[in-house]
Structure 1
Amino acid sequence: MKTKVLLIAPYRGLRELSLTLLKEQPELDVIVKEADLSASIPLIQYYEQQHIDFIISRGGTAKLIQQYSQIPVIEIKVSGYDIIRALTLIKDYKMKVQLIGFPNICEGVLSIAQLLDIQIAYTTIDQEEEVNNAVLEAKNAGAQVILGDTVTVRTAQENGLQGMMITSGKESVLEAFHQVLDMAKVLEQKRNQLSIFQSLLSNYQDGIAIMDENGEFIYCNQAFSSFFGKVQGDLMQSRFDLPLEVNQFLQRLIQLEEQTYVPNEIINFKHLTTTINGGRFKRAGKYFFYVTIHKKPLDKEMESGIQILRNHLFPTSFAQIVTSSPHMMDVLEKAKKLAELEKNIIIYGEEGTGKRFIAHSIHTASDLMEGDFIEIEINDSTTANISRIVHLIDHLDRATIYLKGVEYLSLENQHVIDEMANNTSRVRFIFAFNQHPNMLIKNNILHKNFIRKMEVEALFIPPLRERMEDLEELIRIFIAKYNAKYGKQIVGVRQEVLKELYLKDWSYKNVTELKDTIKEFVKMTYSDFIEKEQVKLMGLRENEKKSFVNTIDLTKPLDEIEKEIIAQVLEEENMNQSQAAKRLGINRTTLWRKLKG
């Protein structure tokens, strides 16, 4: 299918040249018209209804068309060849020559004139209405020849002066044709992608909608409309009354400022209990909001201490893991070999070391890569009910299950998980722990037979402080990541900043902590480098932590020291008992018992 183009030539010669060159452009269906500046507007308004893909024009006419049309405009540039030809023609003129033109014309001519050591007076204009005054001023200043584009030359002639046009040559017109063909290919790819995305969203089982800054819906899929007993067109054509619970969520979403995401919230309407989440994003200088309503009703297990995510991560691979640490290289080599086997795996290491990333890389490098990657995180032993996990696994075929927090289950439920891991085919279990499993067994947190009965391989991920060779490369990666997110152009960190980062032990959340730190630095930095001033905030936080630790009286009895440590960790975790229990390496029931004791 040919690309349909409207070419508007500001002067007759360009029209004739274009018609000649089009004989060698079989992929283009081009309508060629002659019109300059404002005379081109009626043509645009007419041909916009004829399904034109691109418009080609030149100079000020091209700039004007861009203001009046949504169709992509390709400008026939005034090339260096065009300018050299014009300057060569006038260099021996005895008459006084003055250049009058739009900025794009003047800048090119003056740059080459300077290189050729040709002195030429000039006047820059921004609008068609300025041309006549500019020509009259040039005439009063003694100019006899006006060099410029179509409207300039015509106005000069009307005022009794000689006009010389900088014409576009064959090279410039062919370049515009080639640019159209290149853009047509990209546009076709984007249209195909858009068609795929629209089809995907239309058939997606969860309801998805997008709103503008005013809270008006600009898109929704059929599932979203169906939640409220509507067809898709009803939502797009007019606002309809949503349930109060949904409207309240949407109102909070629109009022987002610093936060860009609202996590899952439970809503009830029409005797249905489900979850809703949403967020904010920026496009072309405007904010938009998206909202997702999950189709599957929320049952008691979903409200419990178990979170299940299916294919939550973008595809990852071992090639994305940055390291020059010999220790970490050994880990990756072992992980690659484990990916080729069908054995279950235990990955252990401190919080934030990258256990989940490596687990996902194992999945994508294995024979199970076409199946699901399912994350199961158990946060609370007092409410966790594993019937939902059992039901999920019973219906799986070819999948990797990344299970974190199995130590928070009762020993009886741990045994159920153990049995499933041993007897489920075509499903690989990857268990994640923040401590060595033997330590959890010793503390009676993990069942003593959990590992012994299972055919499992263990993989230890070292903390960041043991792979500091990777620090600078990780910093560069995180700077690049957050440059893109926050529109910054930071190129690095100062040496004194780097020194401070090397001195920190990163024991709180390791690589995750480093990533969060760099994120904050990027947000606070408005120069090319992250400066030492940004480190001061981090330094203050570290000092606060250390001063708190120093207040613990180690001369007290052991049980009192234990209580003080628990109190400190709880405070650092904003009184979140589940997170505090994780930090302390105990389950929540044990933590609660120690607090009560």
Structure 2
Amino acid sequence: MNKNTLPNLALITPYPQLGEIVATQCTGIFNCHVYHGSLEKAANIARNLDAEYYDVILSRGGTAEYIEKATAIPVVKILTSTADLLKSLIPLKNHSQHIAFFNYQNYLTDVLLIAQALNITIDEFVFLSHQDMTEQLEQCRRRRYATVTGGFPVANSAKQYAMQGILIENGIESVNSALREALAIVETTKRKARDTARLEIILSSITEGIIVTNDNNEIQFFNHSAEKIFGLSAAQVIGKPVDNIIKNTRINQVLLTAAPEIRELQELDNTSIITSRVPIFMGKRCIGVVCSFTDTPQIEKAERIVRGKLKKKGLTARYTFDHILTANRDMQAIKKLAQIYARTDSPVMIYGESGTGKELFAQSMHNHSLRNHGPFVAINCAAIPESLLESELFGYEGGAFTGARREGKAGLIELAHQGTLFLDEIGELPMTIQSRLLRVLQEYEIMHIGGKEVIPVDVRIIGATNRSLEKMSEEGTFRRDLYYRLNVLPLAVPPLRERPEDIRYLAGMFLCELNAEHLLTQFLDLFSGWPWPGNVRELRFILERLALLSGEFPSSSLYELLTLTGFSLVDSARPTTVNDNVVVDLNKTTLKAIVRDIERQVIALYLRRYNNDQQKVAHHLGISKMSLWRKLQDD
């Protein structure tokens, strides 16, 4: 091991020989520095030692006791062993007079055994202080002891009382035992220092303010975030009663009751902070409190980060008003009205048949609003079972019901915080959920299923339906008060059949995208009287299919290809007018044969495209897998 990496040891010894032994035994274990002195002189030496440099001090007996009171550096005592005593008394073997043995604080074992082995009499005296030592030496003088043995202060003072003083020198085993203890202390101290430093780094890196107090309610730890929140440095508060530094902390109450207080609101000057106070236990006794603080700006910052991540996960609106294509004046006026609605936070209710573009309007209003940096959360109220809809909307706490996630789940309303919640098919909401949604619109707060805490939400609600909510409220199937709350800004999107100019305009746009502009005239003639129950969505899907099939089967007429689109423009029981009012009367058998042949070609085409995956083919063609199977089996 590199000498510079060894721990540093200071030996303060009353006699030189001990320094030589310790220095030799420290080789490869400690960097040893030897100082000479005993009792008060040794204490003065220790006071002047650099506590940042020295890891441990080694000394013996009463001198070590003096040193401990003078320094914060750990002190290890070299204890007098039975072997040390025996070695010092061998020259007195068969001595006829009593020998006084002075030991500091404790009696030494096997003293009687040593006396028997050397054929001498040993009387042991234990002293607790320098004054106690001198008083007992005086007693020995009066009792006519001629010989005293012990540590350096005893042996040196014996001469003053006309007695022979024999110094008990510590041997290698006593020194090595003390060095092992010193090394253990150094390793433990360094390990604790590392753990403490690591803990301080962890606590200081936490964005929450952390205060730790002891059983006297004094501050023991105050991290960087706490310094910022309270405007105080750790040096100003460490060791001081927390109630004298920060008002309304309730840390003292938690220390007394040993009951935690989690996520409590606390007013600090003009700022609201969220506080948690948790007692620290040693066994069953509360020995302090850990208190964490989160200020309002920090909470808001965290929410912005979360909302940003939610946007990345897809809770965004893709469409703007530029995507709403129309040549109809009424539709253009509705589009302008929606742009005006977008500037407010009031609820919007969009009415329109399926396929008219209600969600397109909702997304456009979100992107045109001041909430465009927040999430856009859409849910189809008719697509989720009633048993799941409440938990999806409002979220739940962990273990709130069978199958619930252990950690709980945030609801869609909560996820839409500072953004827009789009409730499609809102007329399908069950009455129980209508009541809870009404509270959101009134109080702008929610509560998780199984939860006890009220969660404030800042959300703008846009609803959509193809039903008359007013009529439903009169019939009692939709809450009247909820209807009035939602219908603040109504927006009615007309069906495609009432916008004839949009049929030509949109068909031309879609066919242009599909590189099938040549189909436009034939398509418009063929569909001149079609009511478009599926509106724009139906128009687009039909054009996509016709463009695709006409490319694959150019020899087939558009009329023949229509049989695969789900339309019944041909009825074998009566003539049907198509293409410049030419009356076509097709034989039922002939029509079926044409349809069957085209179907087979189309199915074969898609089976090749989807690697014979019948499920994907059926989904693309808009038929069930069973229907596809039947068509494949049909001869």
**Structure with larger Rg:** 2
- TM-score normalised by length of structure 1: 0.46
Return the TM-score normalized by structure 2.
0.43
